[in-house]
Amino acid sequence: MDTLNIGTYAFQSRLIVGTGKYPSMDVMRAAHEASGAEMVTVAIRRINLDDPTGKTMLDYIDRTKLRLLPNTAGCYSAKDAILTAHLARELCETDLIKLEVIGDPDTLHPDSRETLAAAEALIADGFTVLPYIGDDPVVCKQLEELGCAAVMPLAAPIGSGLGVCNPYTIRIIKERAKIPVIVDAGVGTASDAAIAMELGVDALLMNTGIAAAKDSVLMASAMRNAVIAGRQAFLAGRMEKRLYANASSPMRDLISSTGA
C-alpha cells in the first residue's frame, strides 16, 4: 500500500482539497466525494455579531470521512497565525494546522520569516504543522529542521491556475526533504496535477482548480485520477527522452511491393 504519512496521520489519498469558492455547499460536498480526498481545509474567521447563529463550514463536512486541516489564511504576522492556530485547534479538535503567513496581498506569497517564527512556536505547542511556503529549498529545509510534519511549496500563485511554474525547484526541494512535500497552490487542471506528482512530490493541496471549474464535481474526479496517474508514473520511472525517433516495430523482415 502506497500510504502517505504526515506526522502521525496516514492517508491513502494524495489529494487534499479546499472548501473555498464553490458555487454551493451541495456542489462542494459532491466534489469532495468525487475527489477521494481524506482531508479538507477550512479557514477561521470571526463570527458575524449581527447574525451569529448561522451555519458554519463544519456543518457541511462529513467528519466521519474527512479529516479537517484548518488554515491560518489571511494572517500577515506570526502572532496572528499562532492565535488563529490555537483557536482552530480548539474549534476543529485537531492538532493539524496549515500554516499560512502571507507577506504580500497581490502575489499572496508567504512571509518566510514570520512563517518560520510561527512554525517554531506552534511545534513547541504540540501542533502538527504543514506550512505553505515559497519554492525555496533553504527555507523548506529550515522548516523541516524546526520539526514541521511536511512542507507545502507553491507551484504558482494561490488561485492562479498557472500550473507548475517551477518544476526544477520543486524537484530540488523534494530530493533534499526528509518530510513529505505537498505542492500547495497553482494547479489549474488535471495535467498540472499529473506533472506535479510526476516530479515525485508526496501530495497536492488544491482548492480553486476544482472549485472554479465549470463542473467542479467532474474536475474533482479528474484531479483524483491525475494524482493517481502522476504518482504511478513517478513510481514507474519514465523512459529517457531522446532527440530522434526509435521505432517500436521491428525494422527487419519488411514487406516489399517490388520484391527487393
Q: Which positions are catalytic?
A: 98
Nearer to other proteins, 43 or 165 (CB): 43
CA angle, 70 then 31 then 68, to 5°? 20
DSSP string, 108-158: --B-HHHHHHHHHHHHHTT-EEEEEE-S-HHHHHHHHHHT-S-BEE-SSST
The site map against other proteins for 1-30 (x = CB under 8 A) is -----------------xxxxx-----x--
* Residue 16 DSSP class: E
Residues between 153 and 192 with contacts to other proteins, criterion CB under 8 A: 158-159
Instruction: Tell me the closest approach of the beta carbon of residue 56 to other proteins, in angstroms.
Output: 4
207 in contact with other proteins (CB under 8 A): yes
Rounded Cα distance between 208 and 134, Å, is 18
Residue 137 found at the interface with other proteins (CB under 8 A): no
The amino acid present at 68, given as its one-letter code, is L
Q: What is the nearest approach in angstroms of other proteins to the Cβ of residue 122?
A: 13
CA angle 49, 87, 135 (to 5 degrees): 115
As to burial, measured by CB atoms within 10 angstroms (0-12 exposed, 13-18 middle, 19+ buried), residue 125 is middle
Please name the amino acid found at residue 29.
R
The reply on whether position 35 binds other proteins by CB under 8 A is no
Is 57 an interacting residue with respect to other proteins (CB under 8 A)?
Answer: yes
- CA atoms lying within 13 Å on the CB side of residue 153: 29
Nearer to other proteins, 42 or 222 (CB): 42
Nearer to other proteins, 14 or 89 (CB): 89
Within positions 64 to 93, which residues make up the interface with other proteins, using CB under 8 A?
68, 70-71, 73, 79, 83-84, 86-92
Among 2, 8, 59, 253, binds other proteins (CB under 8 A): 59
CB 12 within 8 Å of CB 227:
no
Neighbours of 144 (CB within 10 A): 19
216 lines the binding site for other proteins (CB under 8 A): no
Among 2, 3, 8, 52, binds other proteins (CB under 8 A): 52
The residue (of 75 and 222) whose beta carbon lies closer to other proteins is 75
* 212 touches other proteins (CB under 8 A): no
Q: Does 45 engage in binding with other proteins (CB under 8 A)?
A: yes
Secondary structure (3-state) at 165: coil
Using the minimum distance from each CB to other proteins, give the nearer residue, 2 or 90: 90
Closest by CA to 33, choosing from 224, 193, 174, 175, is: 224
The three three-digit cell numbers of residue 5, written as one number: 504519512
By the rule CB under 8 A, 150 interacts with other proteins: no
Binding site for other proteins (CB under 8 A): 18-22, 28, 41-47, 49, 52-53, 55-59, 68, 70-71, 73, 79, 83-84, 86-92, 158-159, 205-208, 211
